[in-house]
Amino acid sequence: MIPAILLSEPFVLENNNQNIISSSKKDSTLEEFYKWFSEKLSILKKRFETIYLIDLNEIFYPFGSNEIFSDRNWYFAHCRLSIQGLKVLTDALLVVTSRLFSAPSKVLVLDCDNTLWGGVVGEEGTYGIKIGTDGEGSMFQDFQKEILDLKNQGIILAI
């Protein structure tokens, strides 16, 4: 079966730089429709395992509508997206398609010295390693947290 990628319609079509008063006057019917539409897409995604959903609101939100949409591109190419918007969209599509066509990682093999902690235990002893919540040690602690997240996702860890 051929996988399908669904793109949900961007909900934020207006200028994100509105003040609080104008944004409070938004039509709630549009928001209700968006919730209904999102629920229907989620049901489809759960029902068919070959459907992948990319939420355009989620990938466009960090950039704002001024950077994602372009009136110029609309008039010249009938494309609502700006160059930045097209790049963000293609990057999101690349993530999904690369996951489809490459095998998932199952095992992460790690070296201990200068990977899980700073320094070499065999040369500096246990008191010479850099680990902790401050300085260079915090970098290794953050790395260990990321490794723990991978373990919690089912990746096998090996040393």
Residues 52 and 122 in one domain: no
> Do 15 and 87 fall within a single domain?
yes
What percent of the chain is modeled with pLDDT above 70? 83
DSSP 7: E
pLDDT digits (tens, 9 = 90+) for 71-105: 999 999 999 999 999 999 999 999 888 888 887 77
Q: Are residues 51 and 67 in the same domain?
A: yes
3 or 155, higher pLDDT: 155
pLDDT of the residue at 72: 92
Residues 59 and 114 in one domain: no
Query: Is residue 16 scored above 60 in pLDDT?
Result: no
Strands 107-109 and 156-158: parallel
Q: Are residues 94 and 131 in the same domain?
A: no
Q: Are residues 61 and 77 in the same domain?
A: yes
Considering the domain architecture, whether residues 111 and 93 belong to the same structural domain is answered as no
Domain span including residue 151: 107-158
When divided into structural domains, the chain yields a total of 2
Q: Mean pLDDT: which of 34-43, 44-53, 71-80, 131-140 is highest? A: 71-80
Shared domain for 76 and 112, answered yes or no, is no
**More reliable by pLDDT, 75 or 15:** 75
